[in-house]
Amino acid sequence: MNPKGLLVAGSLDRKTLRCTDCHQTDDAGRYMRPINYPTHCRECHPLNVRVFGTINELAASEAADQFRNEPAAHPNGPREGPDTVRAILRDRFLQFVEQFPSVHSERTRSEKGQPLPGRPKPTAAPNGRSAADWAEQQLSEASRLLFEGAGGCRYCHRVTAESSPETDQLPRFALPKINSRWFPHSVFSHERHRSLDCRQCHAQSAESRLTSDVLMPTIQSCQQCHNGKTQGARTDCVECHAYHAPHESRDSPRDLTIQDFLRGQGAPTPDKAHPLPPLIQTP
């Protein structure tokens, strides 16, 4: 993380991020809650869109500034995608031109001979174009920035298909795959370690620059305290690992007798409130 902080969208202020701004524990204090865009990302990475072109009417110009300060909608769940974002944007542009009908009779900056970067110089639209035509032109430019630009959806999402007639002229993006548990067969409590600076265990975080970096602690960092010499830090195996057969379901029936258990024929299903998963091998 940048120690100088990051510029917050729509402000000249800088925000110094801490690990806990994005990484927040669950109610039990054990594991981290899933990262989601509205809660953890939007403040620093808003999907800004704007009204393109020159607007002469003062009220419309002020409304365009407000339009820019409201980021584009982000899909809410796996059933929504670029088509949802585009549909909401279309409604916003239509509402804008209905409120300020003068804008669709004005020629935009690009129509006056100043094409947007990376776009061919368009021909001037005839006077009296419809509000729908204006909204579609605005939507086309906004969609290009959101779906094709480096600072839009592609900043976090891998493209699985480029725009084509088969995709309704919209790219397709892969959903982020962020593990909620990196070591699903181990047990841990962040609450028990709350007095430590996060970087004491996640030492690589200070130098990390890529979201693809996996910054899990090594067993060597654990052994600095859990070594049999430090007072108070347990070192027995079941402090971190639970010995249940990996091939058995956690929801297997509780059908063992005490005698079966003593003969080593199996183990009962762990308590659902505090499941103890199988042992994993730590490199």
pTM, 2 dp: 0.65
Break the chain into its structural domains and give their ranges. 36-173, 179-283
Q: Which of 34-48, 62-76, 136-150, 199-213 has the lowest mean pLDDT?
A: 199-213
Q: Give the model confidence (pLDDT) of 69-97 as tens digits.
A: 899 999 988 889 999 999 999 999 999 99
Separation of alpha carbons 145 and 9, rounded Å: 17
Averaged pLDDT, 103-121? 55
Q: CA 210, 212, 218, 224: dihedral to nearest 10 degrees?
A: 30
Q: Which of 106-110, 133-137, 184-188 has the lowest mean pLDDT?
A: 106-110
Q: What is the pLDDT of residue 278?
A: 43
Averaged pLDDT, 139-153? 91
Q: With 70 as the cut, is the pLDDT of residue 60 above it?
A: yes
User: What confidence category does residue 109 fall into, taking pLDDT thresholds of 50, 70 and 90?
Assistant: very low
Q: Annotate 73-130 with three-state secondary structure.
A: CCCCCCCCCHHHHHHHHHHHHHHHHHHCHHHHHCCCCHHHCCCCCCCCCCCCCCCCCC
User: What confidence category does residue 129 fall into, taking pLDDT thresholds of 50, 70 and 90?
Assistant: low
Sign of CA dihedral 273, 278, 279, 280: negative
Tokens 């630009």 map to which residue? 149
